Amino acid sequence: QKEVEQNSGPLSVPEGAIASLNCTYSDRVSQSFFWYRQYSGKSPELIMSIYSNGDKEDGRFTAQLNKASQYVSLLIRDSQPSDSATYLCAVINSGYALNFGKGTSLLVTP
Amino acid sequence: EAGVAQSPRYKIIEKRQSVAFWCNPISGHATLYWYQQILGQGPKLLIQFQNNGVVDDSQLPKDRFSAERLKGVDSTLKIQPAKLEDSAVYLCATNKWTASYEQYFGPGTRLTVT
């Protein structure tokens, strides 16, 4: 089973700060990467996808991919208390299903 | 567009009993996935269907779990007999076709085995 590793946290940041979430993966041939947000008691919600090396920005979210280092990150600018959730990193496997990390718990404090 | 529907939302059973979960995908979505999410962990794939055929069931504990997708639409996941370690949220996800990577998740069924 190919591994997707995340620091479980919790990561605590003050409101308005930048939250940085990191993920590493073991399958060197992986091509597609995703960040899902999961609120407590809810199902995962896709917030970002990234397929090419570099940065991809969408509103307050920036996903960064470095395939050589097998590293994916998610930056959340101007963090809000409503961003408090678990963030799941996921990698598409060879059968097009998602291989998830354990998730990083983010707490944004007012 | 209606989302992925799942039922029941919650289920409590005793160990060694059986249970079934139901998933209705978004209309036209060919690929359907069942994931198991244990508390504190990320979802883990149990089985993947493309229309009514199984694409991947390598992580499905086949001695107790079974799943089917009749007519390539609705799907059911069954556990018989249940064990304590089966306590988890069972998530159904679908997408339009295999090469469309965006998966839409249903609300999940929370199973507690006592």
Q: State the sign of the Cα–Cα–Cα–Cα dihedral B87, B27, A92, B66.
A: positive
Chain B nearest-CA residue for A100: B42
Question: Which residues have CB under 8 Å from A56's CB, separation 6+?
Answer: A48, A49, A50, A62, A63, A64, A65
Average pLDDT of the residues in B105-110: 97
Residue in B42, B45, B106 nearest the CB of A88: B42
Asked if A44 lies within 8 A of B107 by C-beta distance, the reply is no
Strands (E), chain B: 5-7, 10-13, 19-24, 31-37, 44-50, 53-56, 65-68, 75-79, 88-95, 104-105, 109-113
pLDDT at B36: 98
Lowest mean pLDDT among A32-36, B51-55, B92-96, B100-104: B100-104
Residues of A in contact with B108 (CB under 8 A): 43
User: Measured between CB atoms, does B39 come within 8 Å of chain A?
Assistant: no
- pLDDT tens digits, B18-52: 999 999 999 888 899 999 999 999 999 999 999 88
Q: Is B103 left (phi over 0), alpha (psi -120 to 50) or beta?
A: beta
Asked whether the beta carbons of residue A96 and residue B99 sit closer than 8 angstroms, the reply is: yes
- How is residue B4 annotated by DSSP? -
Written as tens digits, the pLDDT of chain A (110 aa) is 678 999 888 999 999 999 999 999 998 888 899 999 999 999 999 999 999 999 999 999 999 999 999 999 999 999 999 999 999 999 988 777 889 999 999 999 99
| Residue with the two structure tokens 């370690």 | B85
CB contact under 8 A, B102 and A8: no
Residue B98 has pLDDT above 80, yes or no: no
Q: How far apart are CA B87 and CA B67, in angstroms?
A: 17
